[in-house]
Amino acid sequence: MRRSVTVVATVVTLGALIGIGIFSDSQHILTLSIQTMVLAALASSWNILGGFAGQISLGHAAFFGLGALIARELWLGGTSLAVAVVVAVAVTSVTSAVVGVPMLRFREIYFAIGTLALGVAVFITAGNLWPGISSLPAEALRNYDFTGPYFMALGVLVVAVVVSIWLKRSKVGLGMMTVRDDEEAAKATGVDVFAHKMIAFVVSASLAALAGSAFAYFSVSYYPNFPFSVIWTLEAILVVFIGGVGTIVGPLLGAVFFIVGRDALPTDIDEFQVVLFGLLFIVVVLLLPGGLIEAADRLAPSKKRETPRPQQTNRQQDKGKELT
Amino acid sequence: MSSQLILQSLVSGILVGGIYGLVALGLALAFGVLKVLDVAHGELVMLGGYASFFAFTYWGLDPFASMPLVFVVMFGFGLGLYLLLFRYVTRTEIRTRIKNSLLISFGLVLVLQALAVRFFTADERTISTAYSFEAFTIGPVRVPVVRLAGLVVAVVAAVALEWMMSRTRFGRALRATSEDWTRAALTGVNVRRVYLIAFAISAALAGIAGSMVSLGYSVSPNIGLGWTLNALIVVVLAGLGSMRGIVVAGVFLGLVESLAGVWIGGQYREVAALVLFLVILSFRPQGFFGRAHA
Amino acid sequence: MLRVDGLEVAYGDLQVVWGVSFQVPKDSIVAILGPNGAGKTTTLLALMGLLPVKAGSATFQGDSLVGLPTHQMVERGLVMIPEERAAFASLTVEENLDLGAYTPRARPSRAATLDEVYDTFPRLAERKAQLAGTLSGGERQMLAIGKALMARPELLILDEPSLGLAPIIVERIFEVIRDIRDRGVSVLMVEQHLEMALETADYGYILEMGSIVTEGAGSELEADARVQEAYLSL
């Protein structure tokens, strides 16, 4: 029963998204949708490392930015988009593998701080090396067609989701989750902890680069170091947790909730939007670690499993009777 | 490259390093005792800076005069923050505690920063006193008074903290709780109360660091993360969980940044410091003074 | 003095202790024995408020323990020495002992108690200023007991006092335990070391898989066939 509901829901959503892309004329809706899809893809990518493998990376934006940077530079320089994206993802993949070797040796909190330091360092460096604004040439601006960027973003999101689903169902994914739950125990049962962390790291980085490429293709003008900013990492994490960390749909739900929510709130309380989401995030982590998904689950309660009582004759009672 | 430039850089590095140490003291205390990682610590520095700034602007209070006030206010803020938020984080076991506090204080960063923008505007503020431009001149080097103050306050705070930890009953309870809260509870220590007070002290320390920042540098709503990152680096360099050598590690970081600025160029000072940090983390994760973990 | 009824403890969905009941009368030594994983330590931790109690009651000198904060239990005289390394390695011997008298009740007589402890454990007096982490296993256990005594307990709980110690030291420890009882402090101990514990204890309970399977006076249990069986299953 559950399975078919999921399939129907997926088909409907996909259909709706495609429909919007083809038929919508509203710049506003198209922009929002693209932003949502890019964020959802980025969040999904973080979810693979943080939700499946349990490694909290605070420098994720580095890969998002790298993907965006390479794709943008190549594409604006004349290369075809497809090639630009492939190169961006490939380079980021390799880079993440290289970076992962020393980084993944760090435990937990050191990993978080280390990736944060790395992310900030890369952000500053990118800003230094590419200080000027990156803008689409005037002609492209005049005839800006949303179709290309929209379907690229959609494609990227689909790829991210498919990879997530495949990973979650695979043996590799299972290995990652055992590493997340208890690294020592995983090691004891023969799981190659480092390899699994590395796979999660590289896949996560590659998908982030893909999302970055979509961002680069869609954005009109921005400072090249913007996609490297820690804001992206924060938003991805925020969105993943609000939606439901470790699930497939969580990051997607969270992204929709975030972007649509942010847009729906009146603009004159700009800062309060942030406050609201910040508070919501805190509430989620404290009370509802499973995010929106868990909230939905709770509304339809399932049977609770209790441990069975171990079998044994109640000798205490016998003995007690003997003594008194 | 003139030796005067290098010397001046060294001195600047030491001076700013003092403040790095001061900010890190609070963070180290919170982490060492509660095992809670508060990435919103920098935001507390920012708030302390604003408190000091407004006390100066509206009441004419010199930042040194208002320092006790800022300490008390931020102590209270820390109490509130613990009771409303971090208290719930400390209910879990240590591993999840670090993860949860990391995430939660994230959210707190967003909230505090946004509120600061709303109420204080995004402008940079600096306290300009009569002595703001005074400096000692030692040979070719200029030592601005307002920045030296930061280092002095840092050293005083570190010494005071050390004295409290080793000579007072509460300090011993703090150390016991840091080592093992279960055992501390079994010894009769009211762990909840220790957590509460330790966290409040940590916030108060951040506050007076903020005072020094608004005096010797400047405050604006978004400076928080930068200070937090620096404080994190200092804490790790000194040794996660250890309270010794924090100011020393802070000065070290300041020096590294300064020298990097001179040799590689100002744009890359922070990058150099970050890279050095990563290198040290790789080879000696327990920092300079920490004990090696199993 | 201490009365536990139907105690149940669970880690989330995983229940570990199923309705355990026992008593510790005044001026006696009671032992809870059983193999590894039986739930002995879990029971103690729950008793001391360090683990949530799922069901059941526990009273100490008439007052309910469930829901009471740990430090208040210590204040009332219920002191537990946890398994292994009960002293704080980063503090010196004297600092540890001094910290032992943390509660307001124990504080006033701190100096006098300290002298008593040094009398009982002269080795500790010798090593006053040494960091507890540098002591030998036996010395650390003595420090742990000494520190607990500083809190002026009415009932002392020991979790595996003999763990990891040489036989000579274990004998000494049990001597000290008997001494403590003779001075008016009741003792509850959890042990895997059946023989020594049953020799010392006045009464014993055997815990297996989270339930008490047998109980009786120390000498009785020693002879009991079931105890032999449980012992062999260790």
Query: Under a CB-based contact definition with an 8 Å cutoff, are residues B37 and B31 in contact?
Result: yes
Confidence label for A11 from pLDDT (cuts 50, 70 and 90): confident
Residue A273 in 3-state DSSP?
helix
- In this complex, the chains that touch A, judged by 3 or more CB pairs closer than 8 A, are B, C
CB contact under 8 A, A278 and B99: no
Residues of A in contact with C14 (CB under 8 A): 307
For residue A319, give the nearest of C15, C208, C214 by CB distance. C214
Of residues C224 and B246, which shows the higher confidence score? B246
pLDDT of residue A320: 40
Residue B136 in 3-state DSSP?
strand
Residue A141 counted as domain residue: yes
| Rounded CA separation C51/C54 (Å) | 9
Residues paired with C33 in a beta bridge = C191, C206
Q: If DSSP states are collapsed to H, E and C, what string results for C140-160?
A: HHHHHHHHHHHCCCCEEEEEC
CB contact under 8 A, C106 and B183: no
C-alpha triplet C151, C152, C155: angle, nearest 5°: 105
CB contact under 8 A, C90 and B185: no
Instruction: State the amino acid at position C112 in one-letter form.
Output: A
Confidence label for A41 from pLDDT (cuts 50, 70 and 90): very high
CB contact under 8 A, C13 and A309: no
Across A56-65, A67-76, B91-100, C42-51, least confident range? B91-100
Of residues A89 and A297, which shows the higher confidence score? A89
Q: What is the mean pLDDT of residues B260-282?
A: 85
- β-pairing verdict for C78-81 and C155-159: parallel
| Rounded CA separation B190/B206 (Å) | 25
Query: Under a CB-based contact definition with an 8 Å cutoff, are residues A246 and A150 in contact?
Result: no
- In residues, how long is chain A? 324
Residues of A in contact with B225 (CB under 8 A): 230
| Rounded CA separation A93/A251 (Å) | 22
Is A285 an interface residue toward B (CB < 8 Å)? Answer: yes
Across A29-33, A68-72, A247-251, C196-200, least confident range? C196-200
pLDDT of residue A259: 87
Q: What is the mean pLDDT of residues B43-57?
A: 93
Chain-wide mean pLDDT for chain B? 87
Alpha-carbon separation of residue A224 from A70, A157, A220, B280 (angstroms): 10, 22, 12, 30
Taking the CB of residue A151, how many other CB atoms lie within 10 A of it? Answer: 17
Alpha-carbon separation of residue A12 from A3, A5, A6, A17, A165 (angstroms): 14, 11, 10, 9, 18
Is C15 an interface residue toward A (CB < 8 Å)? Answer: yes
How many inter-chain contacts (A to C, CB under 8 Å) are there?
35
Is A4 an interface residue toward C (CB < 8 Å)? Answer: no
For residue C102, give the nearest of B180, B189, B192 by CB distance. B189
CB contact under 8 A, A320 and C209: no
Which residue in the block uniquely carries the two structure tokens 């420090």? C143
| Beta strand ranges found along B94-213 (DSSP E) | 135-138, 141-144
Chain C interface, best mutation among A304, A313, A315, A322, by max C CB count within 10 A: A315
CB contact under 8 A, C100 and B187: yes
Which residue in the block uniquely carries the two structure tokens 């501390």? B184
For residue A234, is pLDDT > 70?
yes
For residue A199, is pLDDT > 80?
yes
Confidence label for C225 from pLDDT (cuts 50, 70 and 90): low
Q: What is the mean pLDDT of residues C76-94?
A: 85
pLDDT of residue B276: 85
Exposure of B104 in the CB half-sphere (CA atoms within 13 A): 26
Containing C213, the helix (H) or strand (E) segment is strand C211-217
| Rounded CA separation B43/B118 (Å) | 14
Confidence label for A282 from pLDDT (cuts 50, 70 and 90): confident
Is B94 an interface residue toward C (CB < 8 Å)? Answer: no
CB contact under 8 A, B268 and A128: yes
| Rounded CA separation C169/A107 (Å) | 39
* Helices and strands in chain A: count of H runs, count of E runs: 15, 2
Confidence label for B104 from pLDDT (cuts 50, 70 and 90): confident
Is B271 an interface residue toward A (CB < 8 Å)? Answer: yes
Residue A323 counted as domain residue: no
Is C215 an interface residue toward A (CB < 8 Å)? Answer: yes
Confidence label for A319 from pLDDT (cuts 50, 70 and 90): very low
Closest CA to A224 of A71, A24, A43, A97: A71
* CATH architecture of the domain formed by B3-283: Orthogonal Bundle (1.10)
For residue C219, is pLDDT > 90?
no
How far is the alpha carbon of C130 from chain B, nearest alpha carbon, in Å?
Answer: 15
CB contact under 8 A, B232 and A121: no
ipTM, 2 decimals? 0.85
Closest CA to B84 of B3, B190, B191, B200: B200
CB contact under 8 A, A106 and B285: yes
Of residues A198 and C17, which shows the higher confidence score? A198
Q: Which of residues 177-206 of B touch C (CB under 8 A)?
A: 179-180, 182-183, 185-192
How far from chain centre, in Å, is Cα A172? 18
pLDDT of residue A277: 79
Q: If DSSP states are collapsed to H, E and C, what string results for B143-174?
A: EEHHHHHHHHHHHHHHHHHHHHHHHCHHHHHH
Residue C183 in 3-state DSSP?
coil
Structure tokens of A210?
């893909």
Q: What is the mean pLDDT of residues B80-107?
A: 83
pLDDT of residue A313: 46
Is C100 an interface residue toward A (CB < 8 Å)? Answer: no
| Rounded CA separation A226/A127 (Å) | 8
The radius of gyration of chain B's CA atoms, rounded to the nearest angstrom, is 19
Residue A242 counted as domain residue: no
Q: What is the mean pLDDT of residues C37-47?
A: 86
Confidence label for B293 from pLDDT (cuts 50, 70 and 90): very low
Closest CA to A228 of A59, A62, A67: A62
pLDDT of residue C169: 84
Q: What is the DSSP letter of C131?
A: B
- Closest-approach residue (CA) in chain C for A309: C18
For residue C120, is pLDDT > 80?
yes
pLDDT of residue A209: 96
Q: What is the mean pLDDT of residues B96-103?
A: 81
Confidence label for A180 from pLDDT (cuts 50, 70 and 90): confident
pLDDT, tens digit (0-9, with 9 covering 90-100), for C138-183: 888 889 999 999 999 999 999 988 887 888 888 888 888 888 888 8
Residues paired with C3 in a beta bridge = C23, C59
| φ, ψ for residue C16, nearest 5 deg | -115, -35
Domains along chain C? 2-77+153-232 (3.40.50.300), 85-150 (no CATH)
| Rounded CA separation B237/B294 (Å) | 18
How far from chain centre, in Å, is Cα B56? 22
Residue A269 counted as domain residue: no
Which residue in the block uniquely carries the two structure tokens 């600025």? B261
- Closest-approach residue (CA) in chain A for B98: A109
CB contact under 8 A, A278 and B229: no
Confidence label for A159 from pLDDT (cuts 50, 70 and 90): very high
CB contact under 8 A, A238 and B106: yes
pLDDT, tens digit (0-9, with 9 covering 90-100), for B132-163: 778 888 788 888 888 888 899 999 999 999 99
Residues of C in contact with A323 (CB under 8 A): 215-216
Residue B289 in 3-state DSSP?
coil
Taking the CB of residue A284, how many other CB atoms lie within 10 A of it? Answer: 25
How far is the alpha carbon of B171 from chain C, nearest alpha carbon, in Å?
Answer: 10
CA-based max dimension of chain A: 99
Please report the sign of the dihedral spanned by the C-alpha atoms of residue A11, residue A14, residue A17, residue A21. negative
Is B233 an interface residue toward A (CB < 8 Å)? Answer: yes
Share of chain A above pLDDT 90, in %: 35
Q: What is the mean pLDDT of residues A306-312?
A: 55
| φ, ψ for residue C102, nearest 5 deg | -70, -35
For chain B, domain boundaries: 3-283
For residue B94, is pLDDT > 70?
yes
For residue A317, is pLDDT > 60?
no
For residue B7, is pLDDT > 50?
yes
For residue B173, give the nearest of C90, C102, C147 by CB distance. C102
Query: Under a CB-based contact definition with an 8 Å cutoff, are residues A224 and A72 in contact?
Result: yes
pLDDT of residue B294: 33
For residue B194, is pLDDT > 90?
yes
- In this complex, the chains that touch B, judged by 3 or more CB pairs closer than 8 A, are A, C
Of residues A35 and A290, which shows the higher confidence score? A35
How far is the alpha carbon of B243 from chain C, nearest alpha carbon, in Å?
Answer: 12
What pTM, to 2 d.p., does this model score?
0.85
CB contact under 8 A, A312 and C208: yes
C-alpha triplet A293, A298, A304: angle, nearest 5°: 120
| φ, ψ for residue C33, nearest 5 deg | -115, 165
Give buried/exposed letters for A160-196 (b at 16+ CB in 10 A, else e): bbebbeebbeeebbebbbbbbeebeebeeeebebeeb
Residue B266: CB partners within 8 Å, gap ≥ 6?
Answer: none
Containing C123, the helix (H) or strand (E) segment is helix C122-126
Is C225 an interface residue toward A (CB < 8 Å)? Answer: no
Confidence label for A270 from pLDDT (cuts 50, 70 and 90): low
Q: Residue A44 sits in which domain range?
A: 17-230
Which residue in the block uniquely carries the two structure tokens 């040290």? B280
Is A275 an interface residue toward B (CB < 8 Å)? Answer: yes
Is A289 an interface residue toward C (CB < 8 Å)? Answer: no
CB contact under 8 A, A117 and B270: no
CB contact under 8 A, A124 and B271: yes
For residue B47, is pLDDT > 60?
yes
Query: Is A49 buried (19+), middle (13-18) or exposed (0-12) by CB count in 10 A?
Result: buried
Containing A101, the helix (H) or strand (E) segment is helix A81-103
Confidence label for B53 from pLDDT (cuts 50, 70 and 90): very high
Chain-wide mean pLDDT for chain A? 84
Closest CA to A207 of A240, A149, A163: A163
What is the number of domains present in chain A? 1
For residue B187, give the nearest of C49, C90, C99 by CB distance. C99
pLDDT of residue A257: 87
CB contact under 8 A, B114 and A56: no
Q: Which of residues 139-198 of C touch A (CB under 8 A)?
A: none
Closest CA to C89 of B244, B179, B177: B179
Structure tokens of B186?
């079994």
| Rounded CA separation B136/A49 (Å) | 52
Taking the CB of residue B229, how many other CB atoms lie within 10 A of it? Answer: 23
For residue B189, give the nearest of C48, C71, C91 by CB distance. C71
Residues paired with B219 in a beta bridge = B125
Query: Under a CB-based contact definition with an 8 Å cutoff, are residues A188 and A36 in contact?
Result: no
For residue C216, give the nearest of A306, A310, A323 by CB distance. A323
